[in-house]
Chain A
Amino acid sequence: MALTQKQSKTLVRGVGGVILFILIVWTLAPLYWMLVTSLKNNTEIYSADSTFWPVNPTLDNYRTLFQKTNFLIYFRNSLIVAAVTTFFSLILSALGAYALTRLRFPGRKFFARALVYTYLMPSSLLFIPLLIIIRGIGLQNSLEGLVFAYLGFTVPFCTWLLMGYFMSIPIELEESAMIDGCSRLGVLFRIVLPLTVPALAVVAFFSFTLSWNEFIYASVLVADTDVRTIPTGIPNFIVEDVFFWGPMMASTLISSLPPLAVYFVFQRFLITGLTLGAVKG
């Protein structure tokens, strides 16, 4: 079958449109089901002929979630852990990345390599000894312990991303500032960091979502309800109650909102950032 170039282009575009439609349905269907379920009452959720939309929309599941479960505690803990981890990751990785890209010192290459190794070290391998170590320094069952453990994967990754950005800033800017009498620290805080605001935004985004999502460390390092985070808190609803799918879907919906909100806000930076560095996922 011989198609002209124009025909085959139209064909490819048409097929592309169909594929795009299928991909969007596949992506949104589970999320739609979550939303719909969270708005149904129990009778509708568990009836033999469930509908694809809520017949009598209700916010009861959200009420149950907030009044009868520990969801708010988990949510608060997750926010604290993610925010504090992000704060420290930003500071550590900005300092580290600057040293590794701009300061000449022996062992620089070695540090850069070690950083990639630590970034690729899976947490499923580290959680057993980490449990013993965190107990040893008395941080078990605490949000501080979680933050400390999370820095182990956010810092290498964020430093790595920032190194890419720092290298894209022309060094002449820094040199001329130093000739004008600016110190190294002055250069970092007055020139390099203001220029890398988009990069810092991306880095903040990653450390926030990585900490918000973390599951393995959270399940071994923390046991008490009052220090649990969302990923280990809400799966427990399954154990606690029989008719839990309504509140459960309400909780998953609310728990997706912070990372989604950050994603929508930072989207613009993300796309440019992606061409420069790797992404953890």
Chain B
Amino acid sequence: MTDAANPLAPRGPNKQPTLWEYISNDVRTLAFLFLLPTVLVLTIVVLYPFFYALVLSFQDKSPGVPARFIGLKNYVELLSDNDFQEIFYNTVWYTAVAVSIKFIIGLTSAMVLNQKRRFNNVYRTILFVPWAVPTVIASLIWLWVYNEFNGLLNLVLVDLGFLEYGTAWLAEPKLAMWSVIAVVVWNGTPFYTMHFLAGLQSIPKELYEAAEIDGAGELHKFWHITIPSMAPVFTITVMLSTVFTSTSIVVVNILTNGAPANVTQILPNESFSITIEAGRMGLGSAINMVLFPFLVVFIILLTRRLLSKEAN
């Protein structure tokens, strides 16, 4: 078949395509042009900073002063520091507890919202609201709720007779971390609820109907249909949330900034304080790098999961 005979070549065989026509139809050139801005931006603000952070962790660097290579000294300083060990332990504990509670409340919320009920749309909208409230704002609101003398929490507890005086929720060593976690949970649970609700709604109704015909009760259906069907959603949600929860500094930074005596301090916020307040950028980077290997495991597993999900 010649070009002249091809009805799909309307311009005739002799007409050379203009440069513009050439570019807009050549797949490789087009792909290059489309991806170029994204690649440029991400190289400058993500990729390069990442390697830079790695290099910084082996340096002694203050703002405005040239960097000096000091090998592993930052890491040695950290590992021999008792405070650092405590903060490391705090980070793991805080992340594990916050993620678990968000998981439980999120699953409960999703299952309750998945029941047939009048005005369900309204309830769903309400339960998702904290997710749309910026974390800084949520932290400030809760700072006021926790206020020792005039906060809502103490007012309610004293009015109901549970307490005689207000408690300093954020200053009491035994309560401080729990108070911080409560805010993380309040702000972060809707993320779980959304994922879980979407997951629940994609379970085929026939599975439940068949089980009911076989005489299965509610608990049986929950353990043998709901939980197994949701396993992939559980994994992705928990992994994503673990990465975001363990690296987010906002709630800790605003509520306590690590007080009392490092009880609520977590690694990313410690890195933030060391870098900004003490001006030790190298040591600050090293703190983050200690957490990073743990994150890498999650990040690699997650990437694999997300990509295989996309391929389906």
- Chain A positions near chain B (C-beta within 8 angstroms): 3, 5, 8-9, 11-13, 16-17, 19-20, 23-24, 26-31, 33-34, 37, 45-48, 50, 52, 91-93, 95-96, 98-100, 103-105, 108, 111-114, 116-118, 120-133, 148-149, 151-152, 155-156, 159-160, 163-164, 167, 179, 181, 183-186, 209, 212-213, 215-216, 219-220, 230-231, 234-235, 245, 248-249, 252, 255-256, 259-260, 262-264, 267, 271, 274-275, 278-281
Contacts and interface: CB of A to CB of B under 8 A. Distances in A.
Contact-residue bracket for chain B: 35 or more
Interface of B: 8, 10, 21, 24-25, 27-28, 30-32, 34-35, 37-39, 41-42, 44-50, 52-53, 56, 63, 105, 108-109, 111-113, 115, 117, 123, 125-138, 140-142, 144-145, 147, 149-150, 152, 155, 186, 188, 190-191, 194-195, 198, 201-202, 212, 215, 217-218, 236, 240-241, 243-244, 247-250, 253-254, 268, 271-272, 275-276, 281, 284-285, 288-289, 292, 295, 298-299, 302-303, 306-307, 310
A105 B27 contact: yes
Contacts of B285: 128-129
Given A31-B141, A126-B49, A256 B155 contact: no
A245 B142 CA distance: 12
A212 B135 CA distance: 10
A24 B253 CA distance: 27
A278 B236 contact: yes
Contacts of A8: 217-218
Contacts of B8: 179, 181
Contacts of B32: 105
B303 A117 contact: yes
A213 B135 contact: yes
A112 B35 contact: no
Given A16-B115, A33-B152, A152-B42, A122 B247 contact: yes
9 contacts: A8-B218, A23-B112, A23-B127, A30-B152, A104-B27, A114-B42, A122-B268, A152-B46, A215-B253
A195 B215 CA distance: 46
A112 B35 CA distance: 11
A232 B310 CA distance: 37
Nearest to B271: A124
Contacts of A259: 132-134
Contacts of B140: 234-235, 248, 252
A116 B309 CA distance: 13
A96 B130 contact: no
Contacts of A279: 191, 194-195
A47 B249 CA distance: 33
Contacts of A24: 123, 126-127
A45 B195 contact: no
B247 A116 contact: no
Given A124-B271, A259-B132, 9 more contacts: A26-B186, A33-B144, A34-B144, A46-B149, A112-B310, A120-B298, A185-B24, A255-B137, A263-B129
